[in-house]
Chains A and B, each alone.
Chain A
Amino acid sequence: MEGKAAAKSAPRAEHFSHGADIGVRGRGATLALAFEGAALALTMAVADPLSVRPETVVEIRCEAPDLRLLLLDWLNALIYEMAVRRFLFSRFAVVIEGLRLCGRAWGESVDRARHAPAVEPKGATLTGLEVGFRDGLWVAECVVDV
């Protein structure tokens, strides 16, 4: 039972193909989990999240006119923190109330030898930007320019 409960509450992260860039997709039983999954997929575009130690927490707050822009703002806030702190994140906790998001991201400074980061995310785009409920799960996705 515990295993099933854990699986149900874990975000799923994956990529989808895009010509030159990378599509990030999160799925989960809740909207918040889908947002966490999209954030994890963002890290996966750069490095293996398992190599990133969740040592330091960064708090992020966003508010947007709709859920799609809320996802855009969440991912762009993470990209900004990754850029100015030279950070990678591997663990996320998101609370969404209406169109307000309160998130926490745990990570550490980039270690080029250990993380071997592949690409630098420049920004989350409006291309393929979708938030919705599909096949029994919440899905949050968009293309990230790298």
Chain B
Amino acid sequence: MELSRLERLTNEKWRLKAERGMRVPAILFGDGELLRAMDDKVLEQIGNVARLPGIVGAAYTMPDAHWGYGFPIGGVAAFDPGEGGVVSAGGVGFDIACGVRTLLTGLKRSEIESCKEALAERLFETIPAGVGSRGRILLDEAEMERMLASGARWAVERGWGEPEDLERIEEEGVMKGARPQEISERARRRQEAEMGTLGSGNHYLEVQEIAALFDEAAARAFGLVRGEVVVSIHCGSRGLGHQIGTEFLREMALAAPAFGIRLPDLELASAPLSSLLGERYLGAMRAAINCAFANRQILSHLTRSVFAEFFPGARLPLLFDVSHNTCKEEEHEVEGEKRRLFVHRKGATRAFGAGQEGLPAPFAATGQPVFIGGSMGSPSAIMVGPQARPEEAFASSCHGAGRAMSRHQALRRWRGSEVVAELRARGIIVKSPSLRGVAEEAPGAYKDSLAVVNAAHLAGLSRKVATLEPLLCIKG
């Protein structure tokens, strides 16, 4: 990215002044090196987001931002319904409520090492992953309806998890305002056999060692102990979310002119928050958030069942579950005034600090955990919401390493078998149904995850608590 158009505010914060139809400025987080490595399209796309009606404050990109469709991945924008603000299906994306949850194991790395190969094999057998996989749970119409309305609570009531899991999920595992009636038959059909499936692409289940701690107090509060092992699961609302995104994107793109919305990029398809279409989308999207909660809950149950075979008595309590593709109604302070806003986070994680309204009870005093996914061979991180008020970027932080090159470039550079062998030589076992998929997801295809984490930390988006080194990875 060419930085000459940007004004440097701090080492990790840059501003693109409102220009040519932008209603607000764009703020880009990241150090000079991260920003220079970003595609120019990121700047173009966040500039387009800043042109949408009713946008408040600024349009933001996180340090892991990369070229998306409509919104950049790693984009954050908030809209005020009272000022003609919009909800954008493109601003949430196809994988609605894609997110990460992390389970604590209390096990030492040495305990995992003694059975790592067999554990990897059993997880790979048990967790449906990749194209063509099917879940073991088939939902009939009535169960689908309950799942869409009740999310992780539905899954726990069916025996896939513990009641105490719920207080450690955003929204306590049930997204209010879900309207299953807004979800088409096609979306439901696409989900029938996909409950408890991981998906493909950058989705994964990873067993990780807590390699380093940076904030002892937050680590203690989160139950993180150096040398112990956690399990992180990255996936979303599967086919249901994909179909909802497909259908509403088209509908919003066609309806935009009637609403008087001039779309700078068709993919930013939007509808006024106050419109029937906007309300229908919000209701459907919230039901898809419940689907993602339920899906990750079932995957947690499957993971626990495998660990119980190897470590009888291991409970794997949930640390937290947080989504990074959503639109949420939240209260934020803007220029000293508290306002109810609809915050789009596409490839960005909510990062509420201590005391923020909407925090789950276990994190009221600490702020919420923020999970930054690595890339098979590179570290992941656990961060915590910031202490400063008001929070930056409507209390948002990054979500992963972010891609540094396209899948095509990655395929030209790496062979899947070589990636698997190199990682194995480093003690990391990768299991995937597709070697080509592994090559496309090669660690080198991503940015330096620690550079992203450090930039988020220094920018005050969230604070670094721990880094996690991968031990084994199930890839879709």
Chain A residues close to B by CB (< 8 Å): 15, 17-22, 46, 65, 69, 72-73, 76, 79-80, 83-84, 86, 109-112, 115-120, 122-127, 129, 143, 145-146
The verdict on A123 contacting B94 (CB below 8 Å), with A20-B403, A112-B130, A116-B434 known, is yes
A69 to B249, CA, bound (A): 11
Instruction: For B249, list chain A residues within 8 Å (CB).
Output: 123, 125-126
Cβ of B274 under 8 Å from chain A: no
Partner of B269, one of A76, A112, A122, A126: A126
B402 to chain A: closest residue by CB: A20
Check if A122 sits within 8 Å of B95, measured CB to CB.
yes
Check if B67 sits within 8 Å of A18, measured CB to CB.
yes
Chain B residues close to A by CB (< 8 Å): 39, 41, 66-70, 73, 90, 93-95, 130-134, 186, 189-190, 192, 199-202, 239, 242-243, 245-246, 249-250, 253-254, 265-267, 269, 403, 406-409, 433-437, 440, 476
Check if A127 sits within 8 Å of B190, measured CB to CB.
no
Check if B243 sits within 8 Å of A80, measured CB to CB.
yes
Report B218 CB to chain A, min CB distance, Å: 30
Partner of A117, one of B131, B190, B407: B131
Partner of B66, one of A17, A20, A72, A110: A20
Report A73 CB to chain B, min CB distance, Å: 8
Q: A83-B239, A117-B437, A125-B69 are in contact. List 8 more A-B contacts (CB 8 A).
A: A18-B67, A19-B73, A79-B246, A110-B132, A112-B132, A112-B133, A126-B70, A127-B266
Check if B435 sits within 8 Å of A116, measured CB to CB.
yes
Q: Which of B186, B200, B407 has the most CB of A within 10 A?
A: B407
B236 to chain A: closest residue by CB: A122
Check if A126 sits within 8 Å of B90, measured CB to CB.
yes
Check if B267 sits within 8 Å of A127, measured CB to CB.
yes
Check if A118 sits within 8 Å of B70, measured CB to CB.
no
Check if B69 sits within 8 Å of A119, measured CB to CB.
no
What are 12 inter-chain pairs, A to B, with CB distance below 8 A? A18-B406, A19-B406, A20-B67, A21-B407, A46-B131, A112-B133, A117-B130, A117-B132, A117-B434, A119-B407, A126-B269, A145-B69
